[in-house]
Amino acid sequence: MIRNKIAVVGTGSIGLRHLKVLESLGLQSWAVPKRESRLDALKNQGFAVASSLAEAARQGATFAIIASNTSLHADNAKQALELGMDLLVEKPFAVDQKAALSVFEMAQKLERQIYVACVLRFSDALRAFREWLPRIGTVYSVRIECQSYLPDWRPGRDYRESYSAKKEEGGVLLDLIHEIDYATWIFGWPATLTARLENFGVLGIEAEEWAELFWQTEQKVRVSLCLDYLSRIPRRTMTAFGSNGQLAWDGIRQQVRLELAGQAMESSSFPVERDGIYRAQLMAFLDRGSESPLATAQEGVRALGICDAARLSSQTRKEQTVNYLT
């Protein structure tokens, strides 16, 4: 039985989800809110609390989940590393590659384990897509679309006050970095890319509302991604086109569909159970990532390298080299 003790930094919607999943696993955890004024409210919800990471460490925490606002990820992660903790940092790893690299290098120096919470890697449907992929033969191209309407994300809250709306830590590129993560996890990394990022002024936010990226992997797979906050009908899909047919994943319906030339279509549906993938990710993290699809810190740094190159490409209207740094 796992006896690990975990501090959860940040008590917004994702932090609370982690805390509830940890509670369901019977694991000891502490909620570490950004503001001490939240301590009593969290106690009233039944959570153990700590006013700081240092206090959680004094009470025995040896692991930390960083679920604070993106702009705080790097500083919070470094505080936890200094306290000797192993970390799971919510995506994106940091606001940019430089900040993420500083955390990665510190973890290496202190010989601590650190992973990035790209929870879709634990989706049964996405993993089935990855396992079925060889059946379509040589993959020539992939189309990924993740589109939804930002004001619908958190009903009852002003979306313009969320981190998603802020230019320095939000926007579709960072917010929907899951798509970059699983694209590279499945198909490999690009050397160069082109991108366009736009704020059409529809939502009244600072950050980009829409992004389109295109790259080619070392394996000659052409990958295109469309990300936006503007679509009233949510959509999260990936379709790979190969020499034998095509394979499609629907991330909302949790379905995979295989169509091969001259054969009947095959499809599989999987349970839509969000806490289940968070539970699987947490168990893998507490097991130090052994034999699991956990996203490594290095992969987190590299994904932000793609984001940085995409921003530069959009600014210059030119293809850009991706500088991975790790």
CATH number at residue 104: 3.40.50.720
Give the alpha-carbon dihedral of 305, 309, 310, 314, to 10 degrees: 160
Average pLDDT over residues 80-93: 98
Q: With 90 as the cut, is the pLDDT of residue 139 above it?
A: yes
Q: Go through the chain and tell me how many residues it has.
A: 326
pLDDT value at residue 165: 94
pLDDT score, position 21: 96
Question: Of 183, 159, 179, 181, which is closest to residue 170 (Cα–Cα)?
Answer: 159
Q: pLDDT value at position 220?
A: 96
* Judgement on whether residues 112 and 207 belong to the same structural domain of the protein: no
- What is residue 288's predicted lDDT score, i.e. its pLDDT? 72
Asked if residue 27 and residue 14 are part of one domain, the reply reads yes
Q: List strand residue ranges (DSSP E) for 61-166, in order.
A: 63-66, 86-90, 114-117, 139-149
- The mean per-residue pLDDT over the stretch 47-69 comes to 97
**Domain closes at, from 119, 141, 166:** 119
**119 has pLDDT over 70:** yes
115 and 128, same structural domain?
Answer: no
Beta bridge partners of 248: 239, 257
Which of these three, 102, 119, 136, is where a domain ends? 119
Residue 87's DSSP bridge partners are: 64, 114
Residue 160 lies in a domain: yes
Backbone torsions φ then ψ of 7, nearest 5 degrees: -95, 135
Please state the rounded mean pLDDT for residues 207-223. 97
- Binned at pLDDT 50, 70 and 90, residue 272 comes out as confident
Answer yes or no: is pLDDT of 3 > 70: no
1 has pLDDT over 50: no
Average pLDDT over residues 281-310: 92
pLDDT (0 to 100) of residue 155: 86
- Give me the mean pLDDT over the 35-52 stretch: 94
The verdict on residue 169 lying in a domain is yes
Which one has a higher pLDDT value, 156 or 199? Answer: 199
Segment 56-81 shows an average pLDDT of: 97
Would residue 204 be called left, alpha or beta, if left means φ above 0 and alpha means ψ between -120 and 50 degrees? left
DSSP-derived letter for residue 282 is H
Contacts of 143 (CB under 8 A, 6+ apart): 224, 237, 238, 239, 241
Task: Please report, rounded to a whole number, the percentage of residues in the chain having pLDDT higher than 70.
Answer: 98
Q: Report the pLDDT value the prediction gives residue 179, as an integer from 0 to 100.
A: 98
Phi, psi (deg, nearest 5) at residue 320:
-125, 145
Please list, in sequence order, all residues whose beta carbon lies within 8 angstroms of the beta carbon of residue 135, skipping any fewer than 6 positions away: 244, 245, 247, 258, 260
pLDDT band at 129 (very low <50, low <70, confident <90, very high): very high
Residues 100 and 150 placed together within one structural domain of the fold:
no
Is residue 291's pLDDT more than 90? Answer: no
What's the rounded mean pLDDT across residues 66-83?
97
As for how many domains the chain has, the answer is 2
> Is residue 28, in this structure, part of any structural domain at all?
yes
Is 165 part of a structural domain of the chain? yes
Q: Cα separations (Å) of 157 from 16, 31, 68, 103, 152?
A: 16, 22, 17, 32, 9
Together in a domain, 114 and 155: no
Are residues 196 and 101 part of one domain?
Answer: no
How does the average pLDDT of the chain come out, rounded? 95
Kindly report the pTM of this predicted structure.
0.95
- Domain of 193 in residue numbering reads as 120-271+295-321
How far is 326 from 305, CA to CA, in rounded Å?
Answer: 10
- Does residue 133 share a domain with residue 83? no
Among the ranges given (81-90, 102-111, 152-161, 181-190), the one the predictor scored with the smallest mean pLDDT: 152-161
Residue 2 has pLDDT above 60, yes or no: no
What is the spatial order of strands in the sheet that 114-117 belongs to? 28-32, 5-9, 63-66, 86-90, 114-117, 295-296
Mean pLDDT (whole number) for 3-7: 88
In this structure, the answer to whether residues 18 and 125 fall within a common structural domain is: no
pLDDT at residue number 290? 65
In a domain, 276, yes or no: no
pLDDT at 292: 87
